[in-house]
Amino acid sequence: MSDQLLVAGEAERPSGDGEPVGTRPATAAGPTARALRALLAVLPQWATARVVVIAALALGHLVVDRVHPANGTAAAHVHQGLLGWDAGWYKAIATFGYVPLGRQSVRFFPLFPLLGHAVAVLPGVGDGAALVAIANASALVATAMLVALVRRETGDRALAVRAAWLFSLAPPAFTLVMGYAEGLLAIGTIGCFLALRRAGGTPSWWWAAAAAFGAALTRPLGALLVLPIAVAALRRWPAAGTGERLRAAVAVAAPVAGVGAFLCWSWVTFGDAWLPVQVQTQSGHHGGLSDPFATLVHDAAGAHHHVGTALHVPWAVLVVVLLVVCWLRWPSEYGVFATGVVVVALTGTNLDSFERYALSAFPVVLAAAGLLSRPQVERVVLTLAAAGLLGYALLAFLGLSVP
């Protein structure tokens, strides 16, 4: 699927809600060569982010070695490194499975640890190394797909490059370097949009369904792909024939089916289909529904013990502004998906990981990239983003901020 999706921007490019605005000359290279070229094109962004995050980890080790924190928490997080926080859960699931780890483990959806376990059968590759490798490879592929998507929608190569830099250097993007599932989720979400926004205006419903199903098996946020798929289906419905309507209906159902498959497994294994939802909505995790304004005020007052808690407030404001820009400048599929992700992120009683959730709403990155058309502004913002990436990664490695 990746070859087809990565090169999708090479042909006719729709703009707005799908009207073609121009064509690019076909190239003689095959899909594998073009996919490789797309990956190499985003290698500078990908590599720069990894240099910054590894530098943050090295700095964390230096701080621990020199300061010797009394409580030992910082030292523990630093030594866990790229497998700290939720990455440790993914490694344990890949190694032992869900049942030995108990009910708390089911808040982590299965596709990422299953892939890690599969890769770990290679000689000399452990589950942790496999997960980190998959996470970083996924981030590279997702970045290339993002460039293809932007070029298809706008024909603007410079905008696509800026989007790739922002996606790679945004402060919460350090989780794309760790053993987290966000890179794999991004492949599913961006891949779904590539299938929906296909050249010529007719979505590739089967590819959209496959990408959405995989995304929903990777992270619960993948279920929100039902929103843009439904928008695309409603737009096509009046002119579509019976066959296309059936394919569209399958695509709409796919993300729901992905979540449903894991819930059915939970029911068979633990006797409770809703256990993953119940665990995730516990107060120590994302929490149940709450008033986002009250939660932001609470966090602004520094009521939690993590340094990063108060930082959620300016990020929430920035993301809401970028949502407005997204609705104004991008097709409605982008706005509805990003809004769904942000609403879910903001309405929990615990806003830890809000920034990571917001990065999964990749259309906000596209909205931000569109505001940086002036080279001077772009350089300043990307420099600040890289500094923020270093700072946020360091706080996470020291156990002072929840990724």
- pLDDT tens digits for 147-196? 999 999 999 999 999 999 999 999 999 999 999 999 999 999 999 999 99
* Domain-located, residue 336: no
Share of the chain above pLDDT 70, in %: 89
In a domain, 113, yes or no: yes
Provide φ and ψ at 20, rounded to 5°: -65, 140
Measured between alpha carbons, how far is 332 from 334 in angstroms, rounded to an integer? 5
Q: Is residue 403 part of a domain?
A: no
| Residue 171: CB atoms within 10 Å | 21
Cα gap 369→337, rounded to integer Å = 18
Distances from the Cα of 165 to the Cαs of 49, 87, 159, in angstroms? 9, 24, 10
Rounded to whole angstroms, the Cα distance separating 144 from 142 reads: 5
Residue 15 pLDDT greater than 60, yes or no? no
Residue-range definition of the domain harbouring residue 170: 2-14+32-278+375-397
Report the sign of the C-alpha dihedral through residues 191, 252, 175, 172, in that order. Answer: positive
Q: Any idea of the CA torsion for 277, 278, 281, 285, to the nearest 10 degrees?
A: -100
pLDDT at residue 308, as a whole number: 60
State the pLDDT at residue 389: 98
pLDDT tens digits for 16-72? Answer: 444 433 344 444 578 899 999 999 999 999 999 999 999 999 999 999 999 888 777
Distance CA 126, CA 51 (A): 23
Residue 6: pLDDT over 70: no
Examine residue 307 and state whether it is found in any structural domain, yes or no: no
> In this structure, is residue 366 part of a structural domain?
no
Residues 6+ away with beta carbon under 8 Å from 177? 49, 50, 53, 54, 82, 135, 136, 139, 393
Torsion of CA 194, 200, 204, 208, to 10 degrees: 30
Q: Is 245 within 8 Å of 350 (Cβ atoms)?
A: no
Average the pLDDT over each of 45-54, 62-71, 123-132, 248-257 and give the range with the smallest value.
62-71
Residue 4 has pLDDT above 50, yes or no: no
Q: What is the pLDDT of residue 302?
A: 60
Q: In sequence order, what are the residues at sequence separation of 6 or more whose Cβ sits closer than 8 angstroms to the Cβ of residue 181?
A: 90, 108, 109, 111, 112, 135, 218, 219
Confidence (pLDDT) at 2: 43
Q: Structure pTM?
A: 0.91
Residue 76 to residues 65, 91, 287, Cα–Cα distance (Å): 12, 16, 26
Closest C-alpha among 180, 184, 267 to residue 218: 184
- pLDDT for 286: 78
Banded model confidence at residue 207, pLDDT cuts 50, 70, 90: very high
Q: What is the pLDDT of residue 201?
A: 83
Output the CA–CA distances (angstroms, integers) from residue 183 to 140, 143, 187, 193, 215, in the order listed. 8, 9, 6, 15, 10
Average pLDDT value over all residues in the chain:
90
Over residues 366-385, mean pLDDT: 97
Q: What is the mean pLDDT of residues 252-275?
A: 98
Task: Read off the tokens for 34.
Answer: 């073009």
| Per-residue confidence band for 382, with pLDDT thresholds at 50, 70 and 90 | very high
* Residue 185: inside a domain: yes
Please name the amino acid found at residue 350: N
Residue 366 has pLDDT above 60, yes or no: yes
Residue 173 · residue 49 · CB < 8 Å: yes
* Assigned domain for 297 exists: no
Residue 300 is predicted with a pLDDT of: 66
Report pLDDT for 284: 77
- Buried/exposed code over 150-168 (b: 16+ C-beta within 10 A; e: otherwise): bbbbbbbeebbbbbbbbbb
Please name the amino acid found at residue 37: R
Beta bridge partners of 19: 15
**Which of helix, strand or coil describes residue 347?**
coil
Q: How confident is the model at residue 12 (pLDDT cuts 50, 70, 90)?
A: very low
Residue 121 counted as domain residue = yes
What is the average per-residue pLDDT within 310-337?
A: 95
Encoding tokens for residue 179?
């053993």
pLDDT at residue 1 above 50? Answer: no
pLDDT at 3: 45
Counting Cβ atoms within 10 Å, is residue 286 exposed (0-12), middle (13-18) or buried (19+)? Answer: buried
Domains contained in the chain, number: 1
Average pLDDT over residues 75-87: 96
What pLDDT shows up at residue 9? 43
CB burial readout 116-139, b (16+ within 10 A) else e: bbebbeeeeeebbbbbbbbbbbbb
Cα(212)–Cα(215) distance, integer angstroms: 5
Q: What is the pLDDT of residue 350?
A: 81
Q: How much is the pLDDT for 311? A: 83
Residues 132 and 83: their CA atoms lie apart, in Å, by: 8
